[in-house]
Every structure is written in structure tokens, then in C-alpha cells.
Amino acid sequence: MKAKKIAATGLAAAMSMAVLAGCGPKSEVVTTTTVTIAFDTDMSSMDNSVATDGSSFSMQMMGLSGLLALDESGTPVPDLAESYDVSDDGLTYTFHLKKDAQWSNGTPITANDVVYSWHRLVSPTLASEYAFILDTMHVVNAADVIAGKKDAKELGVEAVDDHTVKVSLSLPCSFLPSLMAFPPLFPLNEEYVTSQGDQYALSPENMIYSGQYVMTDWKQGNEYTFEKNDKYVNADEAKDKADTVVFKFIQDTQAAMLSYQNGDIDAVKLQGEQVDQYSSQEGFTNRLQGYLWYLSINYNNPIFQNANLRTALSYAVDREAIAKDVLKDGSVAARGFVPSEFATGPDGKDYV
């Protein structure tokens, strides 16, 4: 699946991932604790308050955890939090953190780590592109804090005690639990982040980790290596996971497939003709993902300020052909910014 971007005026495609996983053409069984995965879009940042792209989020989710995670069915389940409560009016969420949760340097993970992370996300100084997500969640005063009209201390998130986080909303937000598995909302340790200054998250040594793995090697534009985090609070549940995961950045899809066939990598994404060629092979899987790839028009260009021109460009793109004849990986032509099969509306139908 190539990370093509198709739309800001609605020219979008909900992407699917076609993957081959296994041991290449070899027939013998190989026991290994290392998994090597090819990916075709390099990451931009390990700072979860700054990154905006899917590759960066994938890397971050290797080493960082949220209050909740999503299981295979997309249902929110405990991660750093052991449970949460919702008030009858839906305006207050109270999360109870696991008391034995800790960072990879042994520092306890506390409610203040959540508060600090959210304050940092909406800081006008940082100008995070995902600051809006707290306003979307209807967190009290989020819009005013983002606009610089109110201090971050007035944001509707509070550390009741070391292991209790209270989130106050102005309107109910039924999808809030799912967003707790979204990297921009993951906890951050204020003391550590501050101590690293502008070097934070620029190398494995300038980060601490709360998730299943710690990054041990970072070769930008080449490969990224993660080793198991023995301080991870759910380490017992992850004992069957690979000890080492290596992500290799291979932009050329044919080169990636050759590496797979040679046994140099264990999983590779397929696109175009590769899907037809390898779909019958053992290890082939196809899974629809909740991503949209799109082209964004430069609205500062006077030409594109013409709404009729933007509409014409949208009509000119054959989404169905791109999904069916170019990508060929199960991607679905999108008509808006909510991916297919991502959520259901009040009537129980697909919300698109």
C-alpha cells in the first residue's frame, strides 16, 4: 500500500493494508525472537505532542502507552489505567491508573503525567497540530487555552491524586475512551521532558518509555530497533511478543518484496499488482485501516480560493479507479474524512 495522498476537497481514500508475513520462501520452521518489518513511509518524530503522521504514531505506540488501548476489535481496554468511571450526565470521566505503572527509568507513572501531556499539547507555544483533539472531545476550556485566551491550568483535566485523573467536558463525548489510545494524548513525564530541552525525543537516549518496548537504535531514513521494556506495567501479558522488533524503511516496493523473499524481513506491505500476485500465498492478510490519505490544496494560492475550481478538481479525481485499479489492496474510495467502517451513527449504520 503506497502512502499516496488524495484530497482536501474530499478527494480521499480509506486505506486498507495488504500484508505478507512469514519466513519468505523457506519451508523450514525458524524460531526467532526478532521480527523485522518493512515500511514505506518514514516517520517524522517520536514526540507524541508534535507528530502528525501514521508512521510516527506507529513507532510511538511501540514505546509509549495510553490510559487505554484498543483490542483487535477496536474496543477500548485497560492499559496504563486499570479502570475508568463516567458520570451519569457523561460530562466527567475519572481514570484510575495502575499503581505499579512506571517509566523505563523506574520513575512512577502518575496522574500528573497525563495532565502535563495535555497541557503541553494545547500550549500555544508548542502549536501542536493535534491540539484541536481536546476541543473535539469537548474538554472544558480547551478552545480558549489553544487560542491563548486562558491558562492551561484552566483546562478540564485534573490530577485528583497520584493515580486518579479527572477529565471534565462541556458536552458528552462517547468516543473519548477510544481516543485514550491515540498517541498525542499519551502521558509524558514533565521532569524528564523538561530536562531534555529541545533534544527531547530526538534520539533513543533522549526519551523514556511507558510501553511494551524501548527504542534502542534510530537510523533516520533507514531503520528503527525496539527491545522489550522490562518496566512495562503489562509485561506479563506481552511475554509472548517478540523480544526485538526492527522496522526497515524501504520505499521501493519491489526491493521490499525481494528482501522478504530473501528472508531479510518478516512482513511487507503489498500494493498494486503485488496484491494479485501474492494474495494466494500463506501469510497473506488484508485489513481495512482507519486512515485517510489525501492531497491538501494550498489555500494561500489565490487560484485555489475559487470554490468552484476546488469542486471541479474533486470531481476530476476518480476515487473508485484509484482504489480498485491502482492500489488494489482493498482500499475504499472515500467521500469524506470519516473512514468506512470506522464508526456507526445513531441508526446503527456506517457513519461516513
In a domain, 88, yes or no: yes
pLDDT, tens digit (0-9, with 9 covering 90-100), for 254-309: 899 999 999 999 999 887 778 778 878 888 887 767 777 788 889 899 999 999 99
In a domain, 123, yes or no: yes
CATH of the domain at 91: 3.90.76.10
Asked whether the beta carbons of 314 and 7 are under 8 A apart, the reply is yes
Could you tell me the pTM of the whole model?
A: 0.82
User: What is the phi/psi pair of residue 342, to 5°?
Assistant: -90, -35
Task: Please name the amino acid found at residue 136.
Answer: T
Q: Give Cα separations from 3 to 40, 136, 256, 258, 259 (angstroms).
A: 8, 26, 15, 20, 20
Give me the mean pLDDT over the 131-155 stretch.
97
Give me the mean pLDDT over the 247-257 stretch.
92
| More confident: 117 or 27 | 117
Count structural domains, the chain: 1
- DSSP β-bridge partners for residue 223: 219, 248
Its domain, for residue 80, covers 47-52+65-208
Contacts of 10 (CB under 8 A, 6+ apart): 314, 334, 335, 336
In a domain, 265, yes or no: no
pLDDT of res. 29: 41
In a domain, 190, yes or no: yes
In a domain, 139, yes or no: yes
